[in-house]
Amino acid sequence: KNEVEQSPQNLTAQEGEFITINCSYSVGISALHWLQQHPGGGIVSLFMLSSGKKKHGRLIATINIQEKHSSLHITASHPRDSAVYICAVRADSNYQLIWGAGTKLIIKP
Amino acid sequence: EAGVTQFPSHSVIEKGQTVTLRCDPISGHDNLYWYRRVMGKEIKFLLHFVKESKQDESGMPNNRFLAERTGGTYSTLKVQPAELEDSGVYFCASSQDGWRGEQYFGPGTRLTVT
């Protein structure tokens, strides 16, 4: 079992829907990252957070340290949001990034 | 400001051959990281440079992999000899503030070993 679990693995939704992607982890962390990987392959960092909530445009990331859980929300989803969304945690034991398997999101027009 | 660049974007080699991947970090970033995703698996950490020194190479899979960062600028990752299971996407990232800082990722090099 991976130390970082994401759900769902795949998600298909209609344009405009509210999207939630979940990330649970089992190790002590100092930070959690949400990243986006487009079909072209490049990875873009969306958020780095260690507590509370962050918002950037239509994207919102929350983290509950006690429950070891984070969520990424997309409001008013758009086909250009289609990508793989990856959760990665920075372990506080050795500071390495431990990666989830990713959630493949498809937004249909 | 130029981002992290990687070369080549795609490499196809035969088993037993040697391949060298290159990563150019963002100028001024002392920290450079290598990661890889092999087919069907999560992205895994390979190693971390601070300037030209290997800070953490605990993720390197075996001694067929050699990473260097001479002069503390660009880095190379050599695989010699390549095996089928080395196929995957190799990502490089750089940051200014070590593990505490945001990492900026390159586009990746897709390696296919046949």
Digit-coded pLDDT (tens) for A50-70? 999 999 999 999 999 999 999
Percent of residues, chain B, with pLDDT higher than 70: 99
Measured in angstroms, the CA of B8 and the nearest CA of chain A are apart by 13
Res. B6: pLDDT tops 90: yes
pLDDT at A40: 72
Chain A interface, best mutation among B7, B33, B45, by max A CB count within 10 A: B45
pLDDT tens track for B9-60:
999 999 999 999 999 999 999 999 999 999 878 999 999 999 999 999 999 9
Measured in angstroms, the CA of A27 and the nearest CA of chain B are apart by 16
A45: which chain B residues are within 8 Å (Cβ-Cβ)?
Answer: 102-105
Three-state DSSP string of chain A: CCCEEEECCEEEEECCCCEEEEEEECCCEEEEEEEEECCCCCEEEEEEECCEEEEECCEEEEEECCCCEEEEEECCCCHHHCEEEEEEEEECCCCCEEECCCEEEEEEC
Res. A94: pLDDT tops 90: no
Confidence of residue A1 (pLDDT cuts 50, 70, 90): low
Asked if A106 is an interface residue toward chain B (Cβ–Cβ < 8 A), one would say: no
pLDDT tens track for B78-95:
999 999 999 999 999 999
pLDDT at B1: 60
